[in-house]
Structure 1
Amino acid sequence: MGGRSILVTGGNRGIGLAVARAFAAAGDRTAITYRTGDPADLRAEGLLPVQCDITDPEQVERAYKEVEENHGPVEVLIANAGVTRDQLMLRMSEEDFTSVIDTNLTGAFRVVKRATFGMLRAKKGRVVLISSVVGLLGSAGQANYAASKAGLVGFARSLARELGSRNLTFNVVAPGYVDTDMTRALNEEQRSRILEQVPLGRYAHPEEIAAAAVFLASEEASYITGAVIPVDGGIGMGH
């Protein structure tokens, strides 16, 4: 089998799908997780769809076994799966908060921990966590989401120190506002208000986020670990 074994969580749409397509185009054996739907059509693109809810440890274990049986141990993990439950804090329920943390932060812990078993045996591995500029800047109505995405930075940097001597790297990509289904659902006033904050004056393309993830998994980035790479059009400068 050619290429490396890549796993992209939440890889059936948006940023995750762009990342998965970029790795597959480079000749890597690329698997994606999805929670709902039937992404069978992505098999035609050379992707391996694996159903997995990352809030369920048993599903995470089954997903890894399926990937390993088809592609071998995961060599590069892109932890991208995430959810939002936006609400002003005084109206935010405890479930709104904990469910976002469990998916975005604890879910990342689950998939990263499982990936490191094979990486430690191989004495090499790359982990890229997809965070958000919101985790660095904060955002009204997104205290749960921002907390989860900020937590990924401390998580990655702790593991970079803990496992760096074993030739494993842990880095973070922090996208800004990206042209996806989520942002396209906003009305024109909302979209214009967002663009006023972005020095480059436009939304990111998902492929631009994918390019940063592919670079951090490349040989050229072998001496980069514990880094946070902003791909945000300048909105998060200084953070």
Structure 2
Amino acid sequence: MKKYVLITGASGGIGKATAIELAKKGWNLYLHYNQNTVAVKQLLNELTPYDVELIPIQADLSTDEGIEKLINNIFHINAICYVSGISHYGLFIDTPDEILNKMWKIHMYAPMKIIKELLPKLMRNSTSQIVLVSSIWGQTGASCEVAYSTVKGAQLAFVKAFSKEVARNGVRINAVAPGAVDTNMLAMFSQEEKLEIEEDIPIGRFASPNEVSNTISFLLSEKSSYITGQVLSVNGGWYT
């Protein structure tokens, strides 16, 4: 039987790596993106060698209309991988209300609403999986990333609580908490600042997007069939 997974934020570094990894495993893909049409077209080209169905969906998850658009374009589904996210660096007191609202909408309201509305379809399967990509800062918090840390921490609380409601319905939900990953999210830092961060990481380097997508793939597989409500840290020992 065909398996379908929704990947939100498929145009980003982790989303793209996840799409390629899951296509290799035979998953059919709903590929959500917002503005980065060029990146999605490139991803579709990279996925053509795999014999899977590719369904791109453009939607702005910071708006109610965008969230509804995405939900209404999902039909059969076996798994959700929520990768979408935005970051903001600066003192909390200087953070604009617009950013606070957008952070909450994209990182918490959107995944909760999407999962809530798609749950009946997930429960039609004998087993289904959900993975939220959170962050190391959701576990320990970061100065100058207070809003981001807060919504990422809220994701982890949601995973732990929701897992207890749906486990007997065959639905597993887990989170991945990456540390510093070599994606465009690090573009705000200078090369010198990046080197300083790497020196703080016990393994001595940033994670690659593939190292995160491999963890996601594991959580969507039968190899993790007895794992739910958990947070897997992919941070090179940066926070333990």
The equivalent residue for 2:62 is 55
The equivalent residue for 1:97 is 100
Task: Summarize the alignment of residues 18-167 of structure 1 with structure 2, pairs less than 5 Å apart.
Answer: 18-38=17-37, 39-44=40-45, 45-46=47-48, 47-68=54-75, 73-167=76-170
Contact kept? 2:16, 2:43, Cα under 8 Å: no
Contact kept? 2:81, 2:130, Cα under 8 Å: yes
Offset at residue 142 of structure 1 (A):
0.6
d(CA) in 1 for partners of 2:176 and 2:12?
17
TM-score norm. by structure 2 comes to: 0.91
Residue aligned with 1:122, SS: coil
Q: CA RMSD in A?
A: 1.6
Contact kept? 2:10, 2:19, Cα under 8 Å: yes
Which residue identity is paired with 1:57?
Answer: D
The equivalent residue for 2:51 is none
Cα shift readout 1:7-45 (whole Å, capped 9, x = no counterpart): 110011211111111101111101211111322333331
d(CA) in 1 for partners of 2:188 and 2:150?
24
d(CA) in 2 for partners of 1:193 and 1:127?
34
Offset at residue 208 of structure 1 (A):
0.4
Contact kept? 1:54, 1:110, Cα under 8 Å: no
Residue aligned with 1:149, SS: helix
d(CA) in 2 for partners of 1:28 and 1:216?
14
Cα shift readout 1:82-123 (whole Å, capped 9, x = no counterpart): 111222012122222222111111121122222212012334
Cα shift readout 1:154-183 (whole Å, capped 9, x = no counterpart): 101111001111010010000000011222
TM-score norm. by structure 1 comes to: 0.91
Quick one: percent identity of the two aligned structures? 28
Contact kept? 1:101, 1:148, Cα under 8 Å: yes
Q: Where in structure 1 are there 5+ consecutive unaligned residues? A: none
Cα shift readout 1:197-225 (whole Å, capped 9, x = no counterpart): 10000000000000000000101111100
Residue aligned with 2:124, SS: helix
Which residue identity is paired with 1:97?
Answer: L
d(CA) in 2 for partners of 1:214 and 1:186?
29
Q: Where in structure 2 are there 5+ consecutive unaligned residues? A: 49-53
Contact kept? 1:79, 1:111, Cα under 8 Å: no
Q: Does 1:202 align with 2:174?
A: no
Offset at residue 3 of structure 1 (A):
4.0
The equivalent residue for 1:170 is 173
